[in-house]
Structure 1
Amino acid sequence: MTSAPTSTLQQLPADGAPLPHTASTAPFEPYAVEAMTPAQERIYLASQWQLMWWKFRKHRLAVISAVVILTIYGMAAFCELLAPYHYTTRNTDFIRAPRQEVHLFHEGRFLGPFVYPYTQRLNMENLKREYDVDRTRPQQIRFFCRGDDYLFWGLIPGNVRLFCPPEDGTLFLLGSDRLGRDMLSRILYGGRISLSIGLLGVGVSFVLGVIIGGIAGYYGGRVDLFVQRLIEIVQSLPHIPLWLALASIMPPSWSPIVVYFGITVILGLMDWTGLARAVRSKLLSLREEDYVVAAQLMGAKPARIIGLHLVPGFMSHLIASATITIPKTILGETALSFLGLGLRPPITSWGVMLNEAQNINVVALYPWLLYPVVPVILIILAFNFLGDGLRDAADPYR
């Protein structure tokens, strides 16, 4: 009588414990994994933006430039509070007055920040106004005081300023212009216009570059060929004469606000080609990725694929490109206003202020009229250094 064959299947114990190893079943031995150090774990688990920030902090010149840019933009944003005068306030008794120096001690006695007043006289030989410093009457600078009325950002009325001229005195820290207006106040107010044009102009070029470059890179073929020829045509045009031509066709009857937006659009229309080519080259390499094919199979529209899947993948490169484009836009507005084809008074900008310094004879006699060129140079250099730092931080191969 033969015995029933035993089943090769074994049942697990009732309590769910694993079966003991038999002679024919070798125990599983996992590979030895070396534990990561806390520093390695911090790097491997960091996001793309964290890695960019860590690399950016090592670029000291870029960090300093970022601080300078934020400081200048902050001063422009609160220019009503920081400027001692309104930019239209005229002191007709002090036309083209030189700068007044700030002192702390008078005849060995500490008085705090003060200035010495000017006495004016007319030189009858050359008909030039000459100013003498009266060192017998120190005039203290007032802080957190009430000065000229203003509308903060054109909305909120106020008259409180960080510092004001002395009672019955003047405060020209950077001198005055041909109408007796304070240069420091006009530089602060003009910075808001020039810097905002840079941001708005880059916004226009950014939108055009991403849309046009994204379409060319995603579709390719004839669409890409057409966009490439369009970019080459725009880049072959000389920018300065084209700026002059477009700016000169704006009617003089337009209000300063309309001219402001017109200059912004003109500058944005001229600077989108470089960004469009960068976006196009990136999309040509990313459109064949698996996640793009998956989105296409799921029925996602091209606009959604470009905007939500492709563009965020190289947003860091776009930010670096934008920081390099902003100074070009600021310089373009300054050049147009300097030549008299950009913004016009009563709006003030750095270019409008430099328009008064076209005459070399005036500059030789009143060199403080060139002070508006200092923030222009400073902001251009700061943006270029910041762009270099962001580009190096966004490069995954560095």
Structure 2
Amino acid sequence: MSRLAALGGTAAVPKDQRRAPWPLVEDEDRKAVLSALDGARLVSDTDGTNPVSELEQQWADHFGFAHCVAVSNGTAALSLALSALGVGPGDEVIVPALSFIATGLAPVHQMAVPVFADIDPVTYNLDPEDVERRITPRTRAIVPVHLHGAPADMDRIAEIARRHGLAVVEDAAQAPGATHRGRPVGSLGDAGAFSLQVSKNVPTCGEGGLLVTGDAELAAAMRRGRQFGEVMDPGRERDYVSHGLGWNHKMNALQAAFTSAQLARFDDYERRRQQNVAAFLARLAELPGIQVPTALPDTTHVWHILRFRFDPAAFGLDGVAPRALRTALRRLLRAEGVPMSQYQLLPLPDQTVFVDRLGFGAGHPWAVTGAPGTVRGEGYPVTRAVIEDSLTIQKRHLNPDSGPLLARYADAFEKVWAHRDMVATLAGAAS
């Protein structure tokens, strides 16, 4: 049995084999950006075809959306969708307790109150039963997140929304290409929001976002919202008249051109990623005490982030706290060359901005509804358990050539599991 790297042994993943850059910047990406830079249409508010409008059409065609609106980032996409759907002061929007902060902030940007619901312990997405428990007469919308690339239970969420007359905005920031019963995520609600931030499965060269919808009027409202409330019709001279509240949430041509080049390679990258991740997870699933990521039946998971939960009892460590086991495994696996990390250190309702109502001053928007602020440390038991007992792998596995690296990661997991006595010692010391 080889010695653990944390105790002076040789790491399972050699240092010179740990690189797996993401995104991959190829010659076609550079050519696309230079071509856009040499063009005359560097922003989306120019008349006629430009790189931004081309990306919108390519994204719609590639994934099967009726309408696509490019914006400055994924957070702006969520806010614009809620605005276009009429969400505003006095409204409540149900969001998951586990997500990136943007999901919770988007309602606040509209002077609406985010109402947090707990998550499913396997997919880490909204628990439909808890969603229904949190609906009030003020509820206006639900924002399910397809977290880590796994589709949420959209059948049940959509049914709840229909029954209560609620809008649904899908936060698909981490899930381009994911499907639910053969349909692409983003097309299952009233609108879908994607992020093109440089770490995403389909990236741009910095920040960017996309909105999709099957409703032409909603798409038009979102286009007005990104452009100061102006109506920008093809062939019509710009009149600089705002027909409603709007922002400057436009995407530029260089970002769009880069993403278009990346999108052209997405299917090949995704096919290889699926093979690499499936082989990796199959090996880890054989180890006791670890829950590997999975997806609902009839869905496609696109593995933006890989989250692993650890069960002390199943590991053979009765009486050891989950946090203690997680801490020990993180130390040992990182020493072996596996970049285990946490994703979200606390539930969204524990974030200071929500606990202390740091919105628009004087407690707004909470003061508008009379809703109580969140209380740090209370509620959301599944979210808290997942944060306590899990670790993630991020970005490295997105590289389509990461198969050999993931095999090394699996070697490292198996090596650590072969030293369960040392894991027990470290976990016991951390309890």
TM-score (norm 2): 0.25
TM-score (norm 1): 0.26
Higher RCO (CA 8 Å, separation ≥ 6 residues): 2
